[in-house]
Amino acid sequence: MPIKTSPIIVNIGPHHPSTHGVFRMRVMFDGENIIDLEPVFGYLHRGTEKLAEERTYAQIITLTDRLDYLASMSNNLAYVVSVEKLLGVKAPERAMYIRVIMAELMRIASHLIGLGSFLNDLGALATPWMYMFREREKILDLCEMVCGARITYSYMRVGGVSMDLPPEFMGALRQFCDDFPHRIDEYEKLLRENEILISRTKGVAVLSAETAKNNSLSGPVLRASGVNWDLRKSDPYEIYDRLDFEVPIGQTGDTYDRFLVRLEELRQSLKIINQCVKDMPIGETRLKLPALIRPPKGDAYGHVEAPKGELGFYIVSDGTIAPYRLKIRAPSFINLTALREMTVGYKLADLIVVFGSIDVNMGEVDR
């Protein structure tokens, strides 16, 4: 005999650990089944885009660190690339190599947190999470060598980077590059064929290529749905057009594919870093630009393939020392638009796992 139930609305967050930040999901359940979902943002809003209108072009770099704070140098890079486009200049060769190395280290660090927290949401409470934190700490050590900080770096500069690599950096980086492949193999041995992981993720929250494109998704979430789109290949910036690497693509667009794409991207980022280390030129690391930059009147849009997807900055210049307008295209915000379509029809336990598979950072959602 079927049990008669009435729909009930449950607020998940904004302080629940599984919301990966200060985020609220207003979920309507029929029993345990999700029949509707509304994402609610705004609890972390900082007004970054308006603050930028009152800051000089150099001062804005510190604001970008606070967007996706798990990959701060990627945010730095997207911003300085946009300003350089506005100015019509390019950073020196050595600076571009350094930027790519740091951006790929950020991709690895971000994916390690994304994968570790996703597996934590799935019920793997300690082992994979701590294994991945172990390698992330080594990346933070490298970042600390470069600029003295471990989370908000402000390392990139318009026209290059703030300082050259210290003497001890390359040796430590090579050691990391030698050790890390064995760690990825360790993750795969532990997880790839895990029965619980497969049963909870395979065929769950399938996102078709058409739906992903219609929602303007990007990054691993889009590529897991079989769409071969990566700005490092589609619209190369810095020195990515000189590098040999593959873009991992999923087959079905389910939660398991999103896990596998990020896992393989760890290897590809390592491949990129090794090439940069081998081909790194000597020379200047920063253009000689005025302390107060005054780009000509006009606008520019620059974007990079950040760990979570396309991160872009649209800047309008009125010829003064601060932007007239600045708008950020944040991948975490855009990727959340598909959350309802991915979760309706599933259960509460599935919702937490599916949300973890999107891998968002609320710092850039509520920018």
Q: Taking 90 as the threshold, does the pLDDT of residue 152 lie above it?
A: yes
Q: Is the pLDDT of residue 300 over 70?
A: yes
- 57-334 is a CATH 1.10.645.10 domain: yes
Which whole number is the average pLDDT over 131-150?
Answer: 96
Write the pLDDT tens digit of every residue in 336-348. 999 999 999 999 9
The answer to whether the CB of 66 falls within 8 A of the CB of 77 is no
pLDDT band of residue 17 (cuts 50, 70, 90) is confident
pLDDT at position 6 is 86
Q: Is the pLDDT of residue 1 over 60?
A: no
Per the CB < 8 A criterion, the answer to whether 80 and 62 are in contact is no
Convert the pLDDT of each residue in 302-321 to its tens digit. Answer: 999 999 999 999 999 999 99
pLDDT digits (tens, 9 = 90+) for 172-227: 999 999 999 999 999 999 999 999 999 999 999 999 999 999 999 999 999 999 99
pTM above the 0.75 mark?
A: yes
**Which pLDDT does position 2 carry in this prediction?**
67
Above 70 in pLDDT, residue 350?
Answer: yes
Residue 18's pLDDT is 75
pLDDT, tens digit, 9 for 90 and up, residues 38-48: 999 889 888 99
The predicted structure's pLDDT at residue 92: 98
Region 286-298: mean pLDDT is 96
The per-residue pLDDT of the chain, averaged, comes to 95
- Token readout for 200 is 């909870």
Alpha-carbon torsion (240, 308, 144, 78), positive or negative? positive
Write down the pLDDT at residue 244: 97
Judged against a pLDDT cut of 90, whether residue 20 lies above it is answered with no
Residue 125 pLDDT level (bands cut at 50, 70, 90):
confident
